[in-house]
Amino acid sequence: MEQTHSRVAVVTGGSGGIGRAVAERLGADGMNVVVAYSGNTERAAEVVKAVEAAGGRAVAGRADVAEPDEVDALFDTAEREFGGVDVVVNTAGIMILKPLVEFDLDDLDRMHRTNIRGTFVVSRAAARRLRSGGALINFSTSVTRLALPTYSAYAASKGAVDALTLVLARELRGRDITVNAVAPGPTATPLFLDGKPQEVVERMAGQAPLERLGTPDDIATAVAFLAGPARWVNGQVVYVNGGIA
């Protein structure tokens, strides 16, 4: 069906590395963007300016993705400022790495709250409020395939995202809404790089046949495809990792 309005995107984690790249790319594609962030107001404001410089319109909205009222307020903002919501990209997430036998349960609960509960809350809001022709893109990880040591809890949280995403795609039968997940491999963002020795980063960069780390723009390109022209891609986990897995 031909769109008679500019598409509107809500991007959670929008002040982070991948989230910012996604917001800018969707703005460059002509979308209006709600840049959702959890803490850094200044960084979110920078992303709003970058989206507008790329050609879109944007506003920032603060929300804890695990809190339904705050997520609903993001959608309210999108509807008030831009008329509705067509795309939801849920990049918000945290990663804590330790061997399973050393993993603190408080850390497990904290990661569960953002990665699983947060994805559930955002996905539920998207399912209720996306317009026909819409797209929900959640974020998984290629570590669910790579099975790297110290990633057990993180991979488990993202395995839950995979399951939720695939089931929701089928539950939205008849709505003309696609539901997919993007599963990045090693990507040069603070989330990935922080705390890793240089030799570890170089070794992981060399594992891909393309012999480099991914960039936020690499991931944003895949998101833009799923958010726009990829109407026949639905109920999938799309691995965006340069062939590492």
CA-based end-to-end distance of the chain: 36
**What's the CA angle centered on 171, arms 165 and 173, to 5 degrees?**
115
| Nearest residue to 95 (alpha-carbon basis) of 170, 18, 3, 23 | 18
Nearest-10 Cα torsion for 231, 232, 235, 237: -90
Coil, helix or strand at residue 10: strand
- Active-site residue, from 37, 151, 154, 239: 154
3-class DSSP assignment, residue 137 = strand
Q: CA nearest 154: which of 122, 125, 191, 181? A: 191
| Structure letter (DSSP) for residue 95 | -
Euclidean distance between CA atoms 245 and 232, whole angstroms: 23
Would you call 154 a catalytic residue per the annotation? yes
Could you tell me if 94 and 115 are in contact, meaning their C-beta atoms sit under 8 angstroms apart?
Answer: yes
Could you tell me which of 77, 73, 56, 76 has the C-alpha nearest to residue 64? 73
Give every CB contact of residue 53 below 8 A, 6+ residues apart in sequence. none
Tell me the residue type at 118: G
What does the chain come to in residues?
245
Active site residues: 154
